[in-house]
Amino acid sequence: MREREEYLFELFENLLRIKNECSCKIFSECGLSDITIRQIAYLKTIDEQGDITFSRLAEITRNSKPTITETIKKFIQMECVYRERCPDDGRVLYIRLTGKGQRIARAERDSLRQVIGRMMDSLDTHEQEHLIGLLKKVG
């Protein structure tokens, strides 16, 4: 019992290690190995919100507008976002993710997806269903 628990722990630890390597690889491929969690969180917010403006991002993150201007400036230098003027209102600018920005924003999920993909490859249909059944019991 105790043994099985320990073994399961090690198996999961290994999966998490692989997942972590995957997301580090994504950051490294984007040339952004030293991006901060805070920055990733900003990019995630931009990704989730869709048509997001400077004012709205300031509101959501509870920062002043100048802070957002600065943050976005840095992201533009990093080639993670660009600005797009709203066609209906010339005062408004939308913050848009570049391909790189989107990769970063979704790195966490995508790295898990990669690990799951590997799992699918190592198991046949029957085993896959079995695994799902077991994990369903847990959740």
Positions that interact with its own copies (CB under 8 A): 1, 4-5, 7-9, 11-16, 37, 109, 112-113, 115-120, 122-123, 125, 127-132, 134-139
* Order of strands across the sheet that contains 52-53: 52-53, 93-97, 81-85
Q: Which two tokens stand for residue 116?
A: 């799951």
Q: How far apart are the two ends of the chain, measured CA to CA in Å? A: 20
The entry of DNA, its own copies, none that residue 132 binds, CB within 5 to 8 Å by partner kind:
its own copies
The entry of DNA, its own copies, none that residue 130 binds, CB within 5 to 8 Å by partner kind:
its own copies
The entry of DNA, its own copies, none that residue 72 binds, CB within 5 to 8 Å by partner kind:
DNA
Contacts of 27 (CB under 8 A, 6+ apart): 33, 35, 104, 107
Q: How far is the CB of 102 from DNA (least distance, A)?
A: 20
